[in-house]
């Protein structure tokens, strides 16, 4: 998070707490009809990586090479930069091109001069003129995978976000273009207006005063929505064909957010997988402005590394899964109810994500079918199989993803969760 982003968040939280009533914000964010067209660009991999301020790297190839070496050793394969200058940072892509690292950039340094100022007219011709020089220098690089048009835009930015997204779409048809969205009052309207190839959202669930693994979204000003509720509300306007990418929390922020514990990082990850995420980035890599970046936080970085390595063998399979109606129920002994979610593939196979939401204790969780199902669950990490109804041991805050192997009553209609749940 940069100074600009920090100032924006201060304003954002002030608006949430002081101006717009909670229910009104939600209703306003859901008042738009969902855009149902297929995404323009096919996303062929599950990006798993980190978020970083390009001002830290500052176009210096040795710094970027050190980052790439570090990320690859940990099973992380993507970098999402903010505050890029296209001409300065295109040189970094010479380093990433041969090394299999995906790079996404927010060319704010360029667009803050050529597009976002209020005196620059909001029309498509001007948007194309602003986007073209950026496309010219970034698009020749195979490691460059997409344009982030703006970080956490306001509703007042809606028209320009829509136009600049369209301009990038027209000028580079091979790569996605998208804003980073935050806040239930703005995600729906901006997403529907811009029609990006990906729904990319910030979700930071560890509030400053939250108890261990209480993921009520207090840091965003939502005292009655937890992490799962927030994602489900946010995606109500997202077509099933549009991937959901989530930027998750490893940082603190003033009195809004506290730094998560490793077990909370673990729980965030598995809940995001269960909600159908097809890309995950961790905020943030380098330390600045009072935040401890992952590179300076061995306990959290170790957990992120473990999660990446555990799921790397089957991560790209998740691209073909969609959140669907839940077919299973889960029970445990802890006071914090465990989590369960059903994903479906295009070949009519079902996958179960289960999470122990007790972050202090291991527990045995029991998974049973709701109706119409008989068979076994096969752990996608270990290949161990369990009959439905068999207790399965879960460490604190940990999750598992299972393939359901058995019989299904096809008279039951199962809608893909396209507009929330």
Listed residues 298, 319, 340: the one ending a domain = 319
Q: What is the pLDDT of residue 27?
A: 26
Looking at the domain assignment, is residue 293 inside a domain? yes
Domain extent for 341: 324-408
Same domain, 358 and 392: yes
For the ranges 76-80, 153-157, 240-244, 266-270, the lowest mean pLDDT is seen at: 240-244
Looking at the domain assignment, is residue 120 inside a domain? yes
The CA dihedral of 162, 56, 221, 178, to the nearest 10 degrees, is 20
Same domain, 357 and 380: yes
Same domain, 284 and 381: no
- Upper half-sphere CA count for residue 76 (Cβ side, 13 Å): 26
Listed residues 266, 285, 319: the one ending a domain = 319
What is the rounded CA–CA span in Å between residue 96 and residue 222? 39
Q: Which helix (H) or strand (E) holds 130?
A: helix 124-138
Q: What's the Cα-to-Cα distance from 112 to each of 84, 176, 200, 385, 414, rounded to whole Å?
A: 11, 20, 21, 54, 46
Tell me the per-residue pLDDT of 127-182, one tens digit each, with 9 for 90 and over: 999 999 999 999 999 999 999 999 999 999 999 999 999 999 999 999 999 999 99
User: What's CA 345's distance to the chain center, in Å?
Assistant: 20
Does position 214 have pLDDT exceeding 80, yes or no? yes
Same domain, 90 and 230: yes
What residues contact 191, with CB distance under 8 A and at least 6 apart?
A: 35, 181, 199, 237, 238
Q: Which helix (H) or strand (E) holds 373?
A: strand 373-379
Same domain, 260 and 401: no
Specify burial of residue 1 (Cβ count, 10 A radius: 0-12, 13-18, 19+).
Answer: buried
Same domain, 354 and 368: yes
Domain count, the chain: 2
Same domain, 328 and 363: yes
Q: What is the pLDDT of residue 412?
A: 54
Does position 291 have pLDDT exceeding 70, yes or no? yes
Does position 345 have pLDDT exceeding 50, yes or no? yes
Could you tell me the two tokens for 157?
């930015």
Looking at the domain assignment, is residue 181 inside a domain? yes
Helices 124-138 and 86-96, axial angle in degrees (round to 10): 40
Same domain, 299 and 358: no
Domain with residue 193: its CATH number is 3.20.20.80
Mean pLDDT of the chain: 89
């Amino acid at each position: 998070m940069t100074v600009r982003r920090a100032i924006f968040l201060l304003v954002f939280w002030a608006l949430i707490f002081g101006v717009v009533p909670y229910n009104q914000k939600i209703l306003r964010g859901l008042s738009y009809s969902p855009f149902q067209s297929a995404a323009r660009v096919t996303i062929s991999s599950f990006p798993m990586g980190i978020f970083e301020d390009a001002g830290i790297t500052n176009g210096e190839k040795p710094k970027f090479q050190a980052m790439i070496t570090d990320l690859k050793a940990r099973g992380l394969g993507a970098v999402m930069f903010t505050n890029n200058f296209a001409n300065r940072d295109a040189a970094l892509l010479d380093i990433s091109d041969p090394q299999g690292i995906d790079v996404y950039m927010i060319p704010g340094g360029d667009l803050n001069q050529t597009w976002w100022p209020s005196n620059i007219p909001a029309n498509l011709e001007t948007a194309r003129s602003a986007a073209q020089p950026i496309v010219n220098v970034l698009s020749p690089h195979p490691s460059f995978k997409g344009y982030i048009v703006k970080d956490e835009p306001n509703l007042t930015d809606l028209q320009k976000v829509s136009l600049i997204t369209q301009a990038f779409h027209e000028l580079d048809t091979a790569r996605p273009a998208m804003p980073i969205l935050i806040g239930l009052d703005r995600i729906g309207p901006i997403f529907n207006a811009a029609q990006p190839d990906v729904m990319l959202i910030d979700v930071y669930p560890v509030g400053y005063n939250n108890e261990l693994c209480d993921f009520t979204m207090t840091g965003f000003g939502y005292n009655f929505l937890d992490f799962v509720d927030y994602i489900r509300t946010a995606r109500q306007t997202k077509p099933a064909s549009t991937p959901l990418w989530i930027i998750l929390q490893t940082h603190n922020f003033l009195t809004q957010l506290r730094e998560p514990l490793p077990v909370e990082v673990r729980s965030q990850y598995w809940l995001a997988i269960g909600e159908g995420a097809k890309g995950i980035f961790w905020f943030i890599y380098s330390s600045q402005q009072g935040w401890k970046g992952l590179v300076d936080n061995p306990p959290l970085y170790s957990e992120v590394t473990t999660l990446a390595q555990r799921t790397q063998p089957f991560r790209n399979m998740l691209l073909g899964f969609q959140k669907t109606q839940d077919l299973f129920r889960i029970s445990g002994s802890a006071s914090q109810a465990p989590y369960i979610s059903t994903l479906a593939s295009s070949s009519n196979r079902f996958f179960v994500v289960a999470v122990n939401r007790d972050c202090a204790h291991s527990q045995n969780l029991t998974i049973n079918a709701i109706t119409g199902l008989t068979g076994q669950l096969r752990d996608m990490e270990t290949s161990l199989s369990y009959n439905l109804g068999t207790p399965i041991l879960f460490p604190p805050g940990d999750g598992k993803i299972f393939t359901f192997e058995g019989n299904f009553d096809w008279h039951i209609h199962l809608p893909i969760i396209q507009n929330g749940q």
